[in-house]
Amino acid sequence: MSRSAAASGGPRRPEQHLPPAPCGALGPPETSRTEPDGAGTMNKLRQSLRRRKPAYVPEASRPHQWQADEDAVRKGTCSFPVRYLGHVEVEESRGMHVCEDAVKKLKAMGRKSVKSVLWVSADGLRVVDDKTKDLLVDQTIEKVSFCAPDRNLDKAFSYICRDGTTRRWICHCFLALKDSGERLSHAVGCAFAACLERKQRREKECGVTAAFDASRTSFAREGSFRLSGGGRPAEREAADKKK
């Protein structure tokens, strides 16, 4: 026994040479699936043809469209394709949360909306059934107390008005088909502003004002168009002359 064998504690075993393992036997199993060349090429082609959506630009930064709407409102030719969701009674005369709750309530009812055309002018708001051409809503703009787009749905907007018979507050809700709720709400605000200007020119005393937000996408009416003196302006002037 040699010294090296004695130091290691025993005779050294001869080295064994193992045959090389077949390709793919060593290492962890492959987890990713390799697609054939044809499928990979098609995926790359789809990605190259896929168009990126343009960045969203809020309506407030597109005044050129709003200017055209304002001119059309004053001419009486402003219209928008919409889906009329319906109307519900509300407890308050203004508030974005009131309009948004009304939209949620109408959508939860499951009532079928009506494809219509909304006509906006200084005289009022008219909703015409696109199929039957029936007049669904004929709303004087003077009765509108609040109008605003929906903060949760980009296409939705609503307005609140006073019912002439029951004197209750009613909220009418819409979904725009091609435009945004901001644009439609802005057009209604333009109609109210045009109506107010016309009233102020005809009457010396007009206790109505409109409070618009910074982007002019919503407004709230202050005061009432009803004459406080209980008669027409000519009758009040005649009574003042007699006095």
Asked whether residue 10 is domain-assigned, the answer is no
Q: What is the count of structural domains for the chain? A: 1
Tell me how far the alpha carbon of residue 79 is from its chain's centroid.
17
- To the nearest whole number, what is the mean pLDDT of the chain? 75
Task: Indicate whether 16 pLDDT > 50.
Answer: yes
Give the whole-angstrom CA distance, residue 38 versus residue 2.
67
Q: Once rounded to an integer, what is the mean pLDDT over residues 94-98?
A: 93
Question: 132 to each of 81, 114, 116, 128, how far by Cα in Å?
Answer: 15, 11, 9, 8
Asked whether residue 51 is domain-assigned, the answer is no
Task: Indicate whether 201 pLDDT > 80.
Answer: no
Asked whether residue 22 is domain-assigned, the answer is no
Task: Indicate whether 238 pLDDT > 70.
Answer: no
What percent of the chain is predicted at pLDDT more than 90?
40
Give the whole-angstrom CA distance, residue 144 versus residue 167.
13
Give the whole-angstrom CA distance, residue 57 versus residue 203.
41
Find the range with the poorest average confidence among 18-27, 92-101, 200-209: 18-27
Q: Which amino acid is at 163?
A: D
Contact 180, 154 (CB under 8 A): yes
125 φ, ψ (degrees, to nearest 5): -115, 130
Asked whether residue 139 is domain-assigned, the answer is yes
Structure confidence at residue 196 (pLDDT): 82
Asked whether residue 65 is domain-assigned, the answer is yes
The CATH number given to whatever domain includes residue 156 is 2.30.29.30
Task: Indicate whether 30 pLDDT > 80.
Answer: no
Find the range with the poorest average confidence among 16-30, 58-72, 206-220: 16-30
Residue scoring higher pLDDT (177 or 236): 177
Asked whether residue 43 is domain-assigned, the answer is no
Q: What confidence category does residue 11 fall into, taking pLDDT thresholds of 50, 70 and 90? A: low
Task: Indicate whether 176 pLDDT > 80.
Answer: yes
Asked whether residue 134 is domain-assigned, the answer is yes
Give the whole-angstrom CA distance, residue 230 versus residue 142.
17
112 token code pair: 């079928």
46 token code pair: 């789809």
Structural domain harbouring 188 = 60-205
Asked whether residue 55 is domain-assigned, the answer is no
Task: Indicate whether 133 pLDDT > 50.
Answer: yes
Task: Indicate whether 216 pLDDT > 90.
Answer: no
Helix locations, the chain, DSSP H? 3-8, 37-49, 63-75, 96-109, 181-202, 233-242
